[in-house]
Amino acid sequence: MAIYRVHRKLNRGSGKPFILPGIYPALDKVLQPDMLETLIERGYVSVASTPPLAELPIMERHVSVLERMGITTIEQFVDADPKTLYRRLRLKKKDVIELRELLINEYLTLIEDGRGCCR
Amino acid sequence: MATTTTAVNACGAKIQLDDKDGALQDISGSSVAGNIELTTKLGDYKVFADGCTYRLACGKDGSISLTIVYTTDDSEGIGILKEWWDADYDDARSIQIDIPTGAGGDDSYTAEVYLESLSIPLTADEASPIMVAAEFKPNGCIDISQIAS
């Protein structure tokens, strides 16, 4: 899952709420690929860099296992198969889901396609 | 400083206005000019200690004006404006002006506006089409964003 930083307010038309400046995962699922490319070219959107997992206190006890799995970023963790994660991290499935949600809520802002999220 | 290479003109600006059903209609084809006025409410004061004037800012405001060709098609600019003033004058509608063309990444000025005035000048010896002046006042902010659709 790519994570994007939106630098300017984006108008999606058709009465949809604006996408406000901030960090968003999966912007490529909300905008058409050519539109996203244009916005990146013009500097209104960039691919965001989030802190490495090793720098996050809540991930401290899992970092070494995750690194052995090749997972060092929030994007990789969010994208990873939950089943593999809870087996390798020796956690319950719900704990992995909670950890994933915590990372998303703490470091990422989800775009809702309905009303009330962005304006 | 390097000379800019990104200047644009307004020749291809895209102007859209809500029709009676609340759907944005492209009225660029019957509009000839426009103006977006962005203002800040300022209050000033002067103290005894020096000769300068100081100011405080308190909120944004603005206005939008358009010059529209008088045509006979109800779906064009003047048709929408006539219907709005006649049947729906007390409702705000959406206006969107895209610069330079409305392509991805272009600037977009959007607002919910009231139709403050519609001026239709009539001159007996004028061969050119009637040019109608429409003035709009926003109900809320004029938003500046980038086209992403």
Percentage of chain A lying above the pLDDT 70 cut: 89
Q: How many CB atoms lie within 10 A of CB B4?
A: 6
Identify whether A117 is part of a domain: no
Q: Quick one: A61 and A75 in the same domain?
A: yes
CB under 8 Å to B62, separation ≥6 — which residues? B36, B37, B38, B39, B111, B138, B142
Q: Quick one: A13 and A41 in the same domain?
A: yes
The tokens describing B135, both together, are 């003035």
Q: Quick one: A28 and A62 in the same domain?
A: no
Identify whether A113 is part of a domain: no
Q: Quick one: A75 and A39 in the same domain?
A: no
Q: Quick one: A100 and A78 in the same domain?
A: yes
Q: Quick one: A24 and A38 in the same domain?
A: yes
Identify whether A119 is part of a domain: no
Which of chain B's residues have a Cβ under 8 Å away from the Cβ of A17? none
**In angstroms, rounded to a whole number, what is the distance separating the alpha carbons of residues A38 and A44?**
9
Identify whether A65 is part of a domain: yes
Which of chain B's residues have a Cβ under 8 Å away from the Cβ of A19? 148
Interface of B with A (CB under 8 A): 24, 94, 96, 103-105, 108, 110, 143-149
CB contact under 8 A, B146 and A42: yes
Element (H, E) at B107: strand B107-119
Percentage of chain B lying above the pLDDT 90 cut: 99
Name the pTM for this structure.
0.79
CA B9 → CA A78, B100, B145, distances in Å?
45, 7, 18
3-state secondary structure of A27: helix
Residue ranges making up the domain that contains A43: 3-47
Check if A28 contacts B (Cβ < 8 Å).
no
**In angstroms, rounded to a whole number, what is the distance separating the alpha carbons of residues B122 and B83?**
20
User: How many domains are there within chain A?
Assistant: 2
Element (H, E) at B69: strand B54-69
Identify whether A59 is part of a domain: yes
**Kind of pairing between the strands at A10-11 and B143-147:** parallel
The tokens describing A72, both together, are 């060092």
Rg (CA), chain A: 16
Identify whether A115 is part of a domain: no
Q: Name the closest residue on chain A to residue B109, using Cα atoms.
A: A11
Query: Confidence band (pLDDT; 50, 70, 90) for A114?
Result: very low
Identify whether A69 is part of a domain: yes
Q: Quick one: A42 and A9 in the same domain?
A: yes
Q: Quick one: A58 and A95 in the same domain?
A: yes
CB contact under 8 A, A10 and B144: no
CB contact under 8 A, B149 and A14: yes
Domains assigned to chain B: 14-146 (2.40.30)
**Kind of pairing between the strands at B131-138 and B107-119:** antiparallel
pLDDT tens digits, A6-65: 999 999 987 889 999 988 877 888 899 999 999 999 999 998 777 788 888 888 889 999
Q: Quick one: A70 and A41 in the same domain?
A: no
Q: Quick one: A68 and A96 in the same domain?
A: yes
State whether ipTM is beyond 0.95.
no
The tokens describing B44, both together, are 């000033």
pLDDT tens digits, A49-83: 777 888 888 888 899 999 999 998 887 888 888 88
Q: Quick one: A16 and A57 in the same domain?
A: no
Number of Cβ pairs < 8 A linking chain A and chain B: 48
Q: Quick one: A66 and A98 in the same domain?
A: yes
